[in-house]
């Protein structure tokens, strides 16, 4: 099954850099930098009790992601993992403020991840773009300054294509960040927002109301037909991360994801990993799980990935190239009777 899944052209739109660097990367950086990491605290499993507990894993990981070289290597590492899943385009998100412990300035951090994206594209068969995360528990002033850095460094636009607000949603609802969201939009920044990961459908509704183009997780939308209707009306894509959502208790079971309803109602969504290493997953595992539970079939997987091209934050020429590539490959597989 995994080999066949790998051959379907795929996108990934919700993948955190720090939560996805491989164990091999962490061990190498630990040795290179002489920094001790408690590897048993890096991953979580089904016994995780909440999003807040889940987020504690990042404290260990970030110890070795504070240098220019480590950031370049991190992007290359995650892109290589995605390539092994058959991903042709990935948007990797990261929070610049989390990489300043050793004195790196925001522009240096932004430049480093863009260098990593360029190296990855020259090394692997994948397009790599970056999303900058503001953090919900940081001040609006700090988050604005980070968004301003994107405006002030236009040379980064080839690789940094949008922004996000992430963090513990239960402690910081969407409405508290309306001014910052509006500010980002005024700067012309593409925006995806973490919302609906902690059971609150209203956070999804507010994110849509404030103009988010995509919603990170958004699983709480299934609890409220009016919220799903708003998602559809505004043509917003939902970025689902099934195994992560199970671990953080965002969903009680996979049956909470009524993906066939979304397909019937033409509501856009995509399957993602969220944090490959923290969750101990990859994109092939995510799709295999959904196939096994009959939440998607093979043709559905090809369909949602092709449809999601329109919801990437890539520049128009990249979108066109991706769509052409995906359409050709999907047509060939249909003709061959593979699904």
Domains, the chain? 2-333 (3.20.20.140)
Element spanning 61, H or E? helix 57-61
From the list 242, 194, 188, the residue with the least C-alpha distance to 214 is 194
Task: Determine the Cα–Cα distance for residues 71 and 74; give it in Å rounded to an integer.
Answer: 5
From the list 194, 295, 301, the residue with the least C-alpha distance to 242 is 295
Element spanning 12, H or E? strand 10-16
Q: In what order do the strands lie in the sheet with 160-166?
A: 10-16, 87-94, 127-135, 160-166, 191-195, 214-217, 237-240, 269-271
Per-residue pLDDT of the chain (339 residues; tens, 9 = 90+): 889 999 999 999 999 999 999 999 999 999 999 999 999 999 988 888 888 888 888 999 999 999 999 999 999 999 999 999 999 999 999 999 999 999 999 999 999 999 999 999 999 999 999 999 999 999 999 999 999 999 877 678 899 999 999 988 878 899 999 999 999 999 999 999 999 988 899 999 999 999 999 999 999 999 999 999 999 999 999 999 999 999 988 999 999 999 999 999 999 999 999 999 999 999 999 999 999 999 999 999 999 999 999 999 999 999 999 999 999 888 888 888 877
Task: Determine the Cα–Cα distance for residues 57 and 39; give it in Å rounded to an integer.
Answer: 9
**According to the model, what pLDDT value does residue 154 have?**
67
pTM: 0.96
Identify the three-state secondary structure at position 95. coil
Q: Find how far residue 189's CA is from the centre of its chain.
A: 17
**According to the model, what pLDDT value does residue 156 have?**
87
For residue 36, with 0-12 CB atoms within 10 Å meaning exposed, 13-18 middle and 19 or more buried, which class applies? exposed
Active site members: 197
Residue 204 exposure: Cα atoms within 13 Å on the Cβ side? 31
**According to the model, what pLDDT value does residue 51 have?**
80
Identify the three-state secondary structure at position 262. helix
Task: Determine the Cα–Cα distance for residues 219 and 251; give it in Å rounded to an integer.
Answer: 7
């Amino acid at each position: 099954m995994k080999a066949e899944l790998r051959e379907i052209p795929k996108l990934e739109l919700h993948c955190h850099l720090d939560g996805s660097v491989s164990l091999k990367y962490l061990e190498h950086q630990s040795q290179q930098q002489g920094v001790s990491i408690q590897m048993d605290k890096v991953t979580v499993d089904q016994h995780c009790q909440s999003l807040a507990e889940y987020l504690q894993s990042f404290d260990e990981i970030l110890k070795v992601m504070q240098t220019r070289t480590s950031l370049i290597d991190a992007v290359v590492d995650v892109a290589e993992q995605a390539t092994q899943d058959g991903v042709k385009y990935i948007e990797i998100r990261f929070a610049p403020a989390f990489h300043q412990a050793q004195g790196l300035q925001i522009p240096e951090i932004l430049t480093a991840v863009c260098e990593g994206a360029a190296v990855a594209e020259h090394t692997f068969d994948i397009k790599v773009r970056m999303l900058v995360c503001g953090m919900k528990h940081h001040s609006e002033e700090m988050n604005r300054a980070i968004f301003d850095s994107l405006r002030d460094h236009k040379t980064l636009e080839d690789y940094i294509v949008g922004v996000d607000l992430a963090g513990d949603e239960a402690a910081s609802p969407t409405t508290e960040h309306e001014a910052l969201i509006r500010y980002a939009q005024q700067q012309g920044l593409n925006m995806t927002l973490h919302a609906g990961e902690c059971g609150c459908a209203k956070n999804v509704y507010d994110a849509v109301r404030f103009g988010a183009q995509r919603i990170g997780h958004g699983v709480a939308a299934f609890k409220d037909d009016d919220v799903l209707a708003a998602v559809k009306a505004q043509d917003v894509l939902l970025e689902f991360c099934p195994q992560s959502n199970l671990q953080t208790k965002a969903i009680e079971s996979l049956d909470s994801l009524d993906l066939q309803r979304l397909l019937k109602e033409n509501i856009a969504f995509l399957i993602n990993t969220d944090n490959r290493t923290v969750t101990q997953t990859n994109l092939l595992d995510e799709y295999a799980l959904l196939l096994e539970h009959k939440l998607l079939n093979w043709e559905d997987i090809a369909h949602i990935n092709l449809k999601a091209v329109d919801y990437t934050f890539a520049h128009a020429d990249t979108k066109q190239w991706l769509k052409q590539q995906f359409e050709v490959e999907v047509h060939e597989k249909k003709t061959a009777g593979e699904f």
